[in-house]
Amino acid sequence: MITVLGATGNVGSQVVRELTAAGTGVRAVGRDAGRLATTGAGETFVADINDAEALRRAFDGADAAFVLLPLDPFQPDYAAHQSRLGEAVAEALRAAGTPRVVALSSLGAEVPGGPDLAVTGYLGSLHEQEQRLAPLDTRLTAVRPGLFLESFLISADAMREHGAHADSIDPDIALPMVATRDVGRAAAAALLDPDAPAVVEVQGAADRTVPDAVAALGPAIGVPGLHYVRLGDDEMAALLREAGMPADQARLHVAMNRAFNEGRVRAHGPRPAGTDALTVEEWAKGIGP
């Protein structure tokens, strides 16, 4: 039996589907009993990820666990909040003695975030979490995906209103971009593979630029002329704060983008041959206006 945290989220729900289809017993963990009931998992367990004792009970008796740190772009004092969640997950795994763990991380998580996570922004918290999990007496695999295509959807309303998508990533920078469907598939495969490596990179079908992704997404959300506007770092941070994002999170967002621009976030292995990962265009076709 495998315990899956975040079982109602984009990645976790796909992990549940893949494991269930493979005939593996799943204990789906989340905060909402109603939503958990729709996952199709054999067992469900209501728990908050910051409750180490509840998580320990969710991990008890499991042969393996899929773990993650949920991203809340409006959570104040983000770094401290992520640290609290990360400590709870690590403590629970340690107490339960879970023998196999697959952790959702990110490309760039191998790079230390530096003071105040100034080097890689959000990704610095994932570096710290990998460091917390590494000493556990478990067989650990870190799944490191590229930029989630679904992250563009956070700005869908603004795109429709303004006919443009604004960010601080250089328009000529090609990044590994991946759909959460494919991340979930990779995580489930790692859970089922006794020989899975310590790091699994999930690069998507091809490296693409932000203008590529925006051009594909536009028609899918009803904005066929959607285009990309590259803002300066300070201007982007100010825009995010106007949208209600806490100042520390706006800073982390811009720092992460700067790491993209400067090449600190990249894949280290070759893209697997014959991948069936969704292209940007294929992914966008599944998005309704």
Question: Which sign, positive or negative, has the C-alpha torsion 150, 274, 105, 35?
Answer: positive
Q: From CA 191, how far away is CA 90, in angstroms rounded?
A: 18
Residues ≥6 apart with Cβ < 8 Å to 269: 201
Question: Quick check: helix, strand or coil at residue 183?
Answer: helix
Query: Domains of the chain, with CATH numbers?
Result: 2-150+177-204+266-278 (3.40.50.720)
Q: From CA 113, how far away is CA 122, in angstroms rounded?
A: 8
Lookup: tokens for 278: 């969704």
- What is the model's pTM? 0.96
Please answer whether residues 178 and 147 qualify as being in contact, where contact means their C-beta atoms are separated by less than 8 angstroms: yes
Please give the chain's pLDDT, 289 residues, in tens: 999 999 999 999 999 999 999 999 999 999 999 999 999 999 999 999 999 999 999 999 999 999 999 988 889 999 999 999 999 999 999 999 999 999 999 999 999 999 889 999 999 999 999 999 999 999 999 999 999 999 999 999 999 999 999 999 999 999 999 999 999 999 999 999 999 999 999 999 999 999 999 999 999 999 999 999 999 999 999 999 999 999 999 999 999 999 999 999 999 999 987 779 999 999 999 886 5
Phi, psi angles (nearest 5°) of residue 10? -60, -45
